[in-house]
Amino acid sequence: MKQVLTVSCKLQVTPEQVAKIEAMLQAFADACEYVNQVVQPNLMNELAIQSLVYQDVRARFGLSSQLAIHAIRRVSGNRKTAKKDGKPVKKFAPTSATYDVRTFSLREKDWTVSLTTVDGRERFPLAIGNYQRALLKGQTPKTATLCKRKDATYYLNIQLESAPPDLEATDGVLGCDLGRTDIVVTSEGDKFSGKEITKVRNHYASLRASIQQKAAKGTRSTRRRCRALLKRLSGKERRFQELLNHTVSHRLVTKASHQKQAIGLEDLTGIRERTNQLRRTQKERRLSNSWAFYQLRQFLTYKAIKHGVKLVFVDPRFTSQTCHNCYHIHPVRGESYRNGKKFVCEHCGWSGDADYNAAKNISALGVLVNAPRGSEMLSCSLSKHIERAAESPHQMASA
């Protein structure tokens, strides 16, 4: 299995080069639009579409052979995605174009790239730092995507293929419980506090409300300035989330790699849809929905693959209600030993941080999932546990 890492590199362009890039992006988008219009909508096979319109695309839009093929490939891919999502293919904007080894090359000695345009080959210096150079050093990338951002800057997203190390067989699992008060609590007691995060998010929410109130009462120019300011604030908050999620995921994966452990997480697929059906205040809904937990999971996934760390997902049921010390659940239905961040077990007397308790349970379940026949063993264990609790709460308390 190969892992693809994308390195985003800013291009240094002259006014003359800007005109060439714009012409090429427009030709690529026009070619995609043409293919999507002339080929019947139910045809999605790339080779079938190519046999119908390849010559026309080259003649009409002046693209090189590879760029013409990539334009056809993009239409094919977009149609497949649109069919899966049940939506029509959107209009193709002149904001990106796909390159391969025949249409772009990287020169390491002066950190420049050569790209094919409709006016021939053009060389661009890369405005990159030591991080990008360390990733690109000694590499021979085969694919890249030229992108025009909203601030009219141009970036080349270079894809690097690598063979990640094999996942190590291990019995240890680092359980991680995700939450709002603490973003992550591990089964070894490490915490990534969410207090500063909540403060920043509340600050942005207050700013947005103030700006929206001004926009509602202001003039047309005021509303225009408010929209621009809201967009800028949205970008700041998004970058803040990305930075923190990168930091947390890197530290978790690094620790698990050094200790030769797998990482255990709760499988929270669809939790946002389920929790939004509950009655909550507007503030509670905002705090629950605005943090990018799915992004954190995605970062953990690709970093774990890169470092050879296995990622296991466990059933989230009862992880917060079960005492990790004696595996006891409150015998009364609807009651729990957990109260906010505090967990006090009335069976064995253990008390402590509720998220730490959940992380320990995730770790224990992760060991079962990670073992041979893990999911089967886990299913039987949970079924017996629930049946015993339902049949005799007092018998469960003495187990």
pLDDT tens per residue across span 107-164: 999 999 999 999 999 999 999 999 999 999 999 999 999 999 988 999 999 999 888 8
**What's the pLDDT score for residue 270?**
58
CB 25 within 8 Å of CB 64: no
| pLDDT one-digit tens code per residue, 212-222 | 888 888 888 88
Mean pLDDT of 362-390: 60
On the question of pLDDT at 382 being above 50, the answer is: no
Residue-wise burial string across 309-346, b where 16 or more C-beta atoms lie within 10 A, e elsewhere: bbbbbbebebbbbbbbbebbbbeeeeeebbeeeebebe
On the question of pLDDT at 277 being above 80, the answer is: no
CB 162 within 8 Å of CB 139: no
Best CA proximity match to 104, nearest among 90, 91, 89, 116: 116
pLDDT-based confidence at 389, cuts 50/70/90? very low
Mean pLDDT of 171-189: 88
Instruction: Report how far residue 320's alpha carbon sits from residue 329's, in angstroms, rounded to the nearest whole number.
Output: 10
On the question of pLDDT at 233 being above 70, the answer is: yes
On the question of pLDDT at 19 being above 60, the answer is: yes
Please give the share of the chain, as a percent, with pLDDT higher than 70: 87
Instruction: Report how far residue 117's alpha carbon sits from residue 120's, in angstroms, rounded to the nearest whole number.
Output: 5
| pLDDT one-digit tens code per residue, 65-105 | 999 999 999 999 999 999 988 888 888 999 999 999 999 99
**What's the pLDDT score for residue 378?**
46
**What's the pLDDT score for residue 231?**
80
**What's the pLDDT score for residue 380?**
47
**What's the pLDDT score for residue 68?**
96
**What's the pLDDT score for residue 130?**
95
Q: What is the mean pLDDT of the chain?
A: 84
What is residue 171's three-state secondary structure? Answer: coil
**What's the pLDDT score for residue 182?**
85
CB 20 within 8 Å of CB 122: yes
Residue 10 β-bridge partners: 127, 155
Tokens of 329: 């659940």
pLDDT-based confidence at 279, cuts 50/70/90? low
**What's the pLDDT score for residue 230?**
81
**What's the pLDDT score for residue 186?**
93
Query: What is the residue type of 102?
Result: R
pLDDT-based confidence at 388, cuts 50/70/90? very low
On the question of pLDDT at 392 being above 90, the answer is: no
Best CA proximity match to 265, nearest among 322, 338, 327, 319: 319
Whole-prediction pTM: 0.69
Q: Which residue has the higher pLDDT, 348 or 194?
A: 348
